[in-house]
């Protein structure tokens, strides 16, 4: 549903009454419980030689995002976890720049990034305790979202320390090392929900596809008639491809109305310091290619271990 020109009485009714209801539904869904970043240069040169300058006066920086994405590409097919999460820090800023509706989604993503960082920090603390690893045991029926709830601490048990790297501090260095470590410690379940980093990563991975598709559609040139589709229409289309299959009906309907409130093209031009869609396209192209490489490597790691459908 796209609004053009004068809005009909029925359209005004939908916008005035159904959009707040959609936002309320998103709040109910996303309100459930579930850093240091790499230094950035003022300019970032991508691998095609295009210079991305830092945009003054705003939080999101395309140059910084590109730097983190490139840093996440480790040797071989590795995805390094710290710069991967730093890439999400920048993508969260991008989402928050699009207004309060998309910010609902960013809050859910932010909690997942925080969870993986918390697990990594807990792993380092366990390593510092000596030859035995202090392992957190979550009850069989415990909600993994309660990791961030106030309440009694879960019971703990000791397990033999199994180092994943040469110095025993590599468990959360990369996506693959996190998977190996969590599988060896039995914290990943293929039958029920857990608070594992692997399950959390899968949810981030799906959201990354949504943003990848959205930015790729934003980079597309106008059609033969010179028409540019609205950002809200493109974002909704990307959502339907990447995330809608995993969301309940109510959230899907709420998201459709929410995308109507997305800002127009001028807001996006400002985010990447350009004046037109023609100038934005090459910038978006290189960011999308970097996201695609990170996504492809993560997809391969998840698929190799049968984790693409973790509950």
DSSP string, 115-162: HHHHHHHHHHHHHHT-SEEEEE---TT--GGGGGS-SPPPPEEEEE--
Contact 154, 142 (CB under 8 A): yes
pLDDT the model gives residue 51: 53
DSSP state of 80: B
Residue 26 CB contacts under 8 Å (≥ 6 apart), including other chains: 101, 104, 105, 251, 254, 255, 258
What is 57-148+158-304's CATH superfamily? Answer: Glycolipid transfer protein (1.10.3520.10)
DSSP state of 194: -
pLDDT < 50 regions, the chain: 1-49, 131-168
Strand partners for 134: 158
pLDDT the model gives residue 252: 86
pLDDT the model gives residue 130: 54
pLDDT the model gives residue 158: 31
Q: Helix, strand, or coil here: 132?
A: strand
The token pair that represents 125 in the structure block: 């603390």
Give the H/E segment covering residue 215. helix 197-218
pLDDT the model gives residue 201: 97
The CA distance from 37 to 87, in Å, is: 9
Contact 63, 53 (CB under 8 A): yes
The token pair that represents 293 in the structure block: 């490489």
Q: Which pLDDT tens digit goes with each residue over 39-97?
A: 333 344 444 445 577 888 889 999 999 999 999 999 999 999 999 999 999 999 999 98
Give the domain ranges of the chain.
57-148+158-304
pLDDT the model gives residue 204: 97
pLDDT the model gives residue 104: 72
């Amino acid at each position: 549903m796209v609004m053009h020109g004068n809005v009909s009485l029925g359209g005004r009714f939908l916008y005035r009454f159904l959009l707040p209801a959609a936002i309320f539904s998103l709040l109910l869904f996303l309100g459930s419980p579930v850093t240091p970043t790499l230094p950035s240069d003022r300019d970032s040169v991508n691998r095609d030689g295009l210079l991305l300058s830092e945009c003054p006066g705003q939080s999101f920086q395309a140059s910084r995002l590109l730097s983190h994405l490139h840093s996440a590409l480790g040797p071989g097919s590795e995805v390094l976890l710290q710069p991967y999460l730093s890439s999400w820090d920048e993508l969260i800023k991008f989402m928050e720049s699009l207004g309060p509706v998309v910010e609902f989604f960013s809050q859910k993503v932010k909690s997942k990034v925080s969870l993986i960082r918390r697990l990594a920090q807990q792993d380092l603390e366990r390593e510092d305790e000596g030859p035995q690893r202090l392992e957190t045991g979550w009850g069989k029926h415990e909600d993994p979202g309660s990791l961030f709830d106030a309440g009694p601490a879960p019971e703990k048990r000791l397990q033999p320390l199994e180092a994943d790297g040469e110095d025993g501090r590599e468990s959360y260095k990369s996506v693959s090392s996190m998977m190996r470590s969590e599988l060896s410690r039995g914290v990943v379940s293929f039958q029920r929900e857990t608070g594992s980093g692997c399950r959390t990563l899968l949810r981030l991975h799906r959201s990354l596809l949504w943003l990848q598709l959205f930015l790729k559609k934003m980079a597309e040139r106008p059609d033969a008639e010179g028409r540019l589709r609205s950002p809200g229409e493109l974002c909704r289309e990307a959502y339907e491809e990447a995330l809608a299959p995993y969301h309940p009906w109510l959230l899907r309907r709420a998201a459709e109305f929410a995308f109507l409130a997305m800002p127009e093209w001028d807001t996006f031009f400002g985010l990447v310091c350009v004046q037109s869609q023609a100038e934005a396209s090459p910038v978006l192209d290189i960011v999308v290619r970097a996201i695609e490489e990170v996504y492809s490597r993560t997809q391969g790691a998840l698929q190799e271990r049968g984790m693409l459908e973790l509950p």
